[in-house]
């Protein structure tokens, strides 16, 4: 018999290979009390959450989703009625297929009928409905009930086993389909989150690029002002010209010119100093926004790399994730990828404050943020 993980993990009967939502929560069909269903859901979910076997990692995620859907449907009267109808039709059709293989010789032994009834109960069908299906199929096939004796009984037992094998294959195929749908849904969720992260990082990169362009424009304006100041300096009267004029001018005129020259020289020096200070400030701003743009680009690459390692090197990614979880366990035990990303967000403040300083002060928070972003990406896998 193939592996039955519902039996291994939830303790369901071994013959139930594809349980319905009633069997999954271990509640009777007659139970309609939402509180009782909620209690059974919590018991089963707690049992699943305490399983740490990595061999069942993917199946456990599927099982958690199935338990949540079971609780959601069975506590909603309208959805429950719709589910009951679909379930009865689907499982009834499976039971009819089993019977069709048993009735190929136009006979149904008592042993085979007992087996059919047991199989119907494993499918979650009620006894009255099972007997109704058996009677309808007997009439449809023109078959009759016989006692199980001799070679006829052996033939019927063989046909019974063959029909059960086919039923198991159908159930296994249906289970695999549901697993595939769950995988696709989880992959779609991860893809959407990755796209949102990429959009956010790209938006920040665009903002940093805009600030960089503004800084470059300010630098150009400052350079133009510096050129204008240089032109004014060239046009100013040189000290040699002033000395020659002093010889020809009266004492009073010389004093007036010296006074005007001193004022002009003071103003020119003050303007040059102000221009130099403005140039230095603009240059510092340009360096700051350039570093911030590089920082956000590095965080984007680290975040994407964390997810990409799972796709390119799943083995290495799993090993790294184990190492990271071990370190986090020693550090605090309850830290997760969300906490790491929160750490990245907290470090954004010192990153902005240190962006204009010397490289060692700026590089320290950046390296820590890149490491946290990469580790968070690996933990999300």
**CA–CA dist 311, 190 (Å, integer):** 12
> Cα 82–88–93 angle (5° rounding)?
130
How do the domains of the chain map onto residue ranges? Answer: 236-380
Please tell me the predicted confidence (pLDDT) of residue 190.
47
Please tell me the predicted confidence (pLDDT) of residue 173.
60
In this predicted model, what pLDDT tens digit does every residue of 309-360 receive, in sequence order? 777 777 777 887 777 777 767 665 556 767 777 878 888 888 787 777 766 6
Given phi > 0 = left and psi -120 to 50 = alpha, else beta, which region is 124? left
Contact present, 339 and 281 (Cβ < 8 Å): no
Handedness of CA 188, 190, 192, 195 (dihedral sign): negative
Residue 82 parent element (H or E): helix 77-102
**CA–CA dist 213, 289 (Å, integer):** 10
Per-residue pLDDT of the chain (381 residues; tens, 9 = 90+): 457 888 888 888 887 888 889 989 999 888 989 999 999 999 999 999 988 888 888 888 999 999 999 999 999 999 999 998 998 888 888 888 888 777 777 777 777 778 778 877 777 777 888 888 888 888 887 887 877 655 555 555 555 665 556 656 555 666 556 656 555 555 555 466 556 665 665 677 677 677 778 868 887 887 888 788 777 767 766 666 655 655 566 677 778 888 888 888 888 788 778 777 777 777 777 877 887 888 888 888 877 877 787 777 777 778 877 777 777 676 655 567 677 778 788 888 887 877 777 666 778 888 888 888 887 777 766
**CA–CA dist 144, 102 (Å, integer):** 12
**CA–CA dist 168, 100 (Å, integer):** 15
DSSP for 140-205, please give it: HHT-EEE---HHHHHHHHHHHHHHHHHHHHHHHHHHHHHHHHHHHHHHHHHHHHHHHHHHHHHHHH
* 292 burial type by CB count under 10 A (0-12 exposed, 13-18 middle, 19+ buried): buried
Residues in contact with 152: Cβ distance below 8 Å, sequence separation at least 6, in sequence order: 107, 109, 146
**CA–CA dist 224, 218 (Å, integer):** 10
Please tell me the predicted confidence (pLDDT) of residue 38.
95
SS (H, E, C) 166-183: HHHHHHHHHHHHHHHHHH
Residues in contact with 38: Cβ distance below 8 Å, sequence separation at least 6, in sequence order: 71, 75
* 232 burial type by CB count under 10 A (0-12 exposed, 13-18 middle, 19+ buried): middle
In this predicted model, what pLDDT tens digit does every residue of 132-177 receive, in sequence order? 888 888 888 788 787 765 555 555 555 566 555 665 655 566 655 6
CA 241, distance to chain mean position in Å, is: 77
Contact present, 63 and 30 (Cβ < 8 Å): no
Backbone angles phi, psi at 334, to 5 degrees: -105, 5
């Amino acid at each position: 018999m193939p592996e039955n993980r519902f039996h291994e993990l939830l303790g369901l009967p071994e013959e139930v290979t594809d349980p319905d939502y009633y069997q999954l929560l271990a509640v009777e069909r007659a139970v309609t009390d939402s509180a009782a269903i909620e209690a059974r859901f919590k018991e089963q979910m707690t049992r699943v959450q305490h399983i740490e076997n990595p061999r069942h990692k993917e199946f456990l995620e599927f099982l958690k989703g199935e338990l949540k859907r079971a609780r959601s449907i069975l506590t909603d009267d309208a959805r429950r009625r719709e589910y009951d109808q679909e379930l009865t039709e689907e499982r009834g059709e499976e039971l009819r297929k089993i019977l069709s293989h048993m009735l190929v010789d136009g006979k149904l032994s008592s042993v085979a009928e007992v087996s059919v009834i047991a199989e119907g109960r494993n499918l979650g069908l009620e006894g009255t409905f099972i007997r109704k299906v058996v009677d309808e199929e007997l009439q449809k096939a023109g078959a009759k009930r016989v006692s199980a004796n001799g070679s006829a009984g052996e033939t019927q037992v063989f046909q019974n086993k063959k029909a059960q094998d086919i039923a198991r294959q159908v159930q296994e195929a249906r289970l695999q389909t549901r697993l595939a749908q769950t995988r696709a849904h989880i992959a779609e969720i991860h893809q959407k989150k990755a796209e949102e992260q990429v959009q956010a990082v790209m938006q920040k990169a665009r903002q940093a690029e805009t600030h960089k362009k503004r800084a470059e424009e300010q630098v150009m304006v400052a350079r133009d002002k510096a050129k204008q100041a240089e032109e004014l300096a060239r046009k100013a009267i040189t000290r040699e010209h002033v000395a020659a004029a002093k010889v020809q001018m009266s004492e009073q005129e010389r004093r007036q010119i010296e006074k005007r020259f001193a004022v002009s020289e003071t103003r020119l020096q003050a303007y040059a100093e102000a221009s130099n200070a403005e140039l230095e400030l603009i240059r510092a701003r340009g360096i700051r926004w350039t570093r911030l743009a590089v920082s956000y680009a590095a965080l984007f690459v680290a975040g994407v790399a964390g997810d990409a390692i799972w796709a390119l090197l799943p083995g290495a990614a799993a090993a790294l994730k184990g190492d990271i979880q071990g370190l986090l366990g020693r550090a605090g035990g309850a830290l997760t990828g969300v906490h790491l990303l929160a750490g990245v967000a907290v470090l954004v403040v010192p990153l902005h404050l240190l962006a204009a300083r010397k490289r060692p002060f700026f590089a320290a928070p950046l390296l820590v943020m890149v490491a946290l972003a990469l580790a968070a990406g690996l933990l999300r896998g």
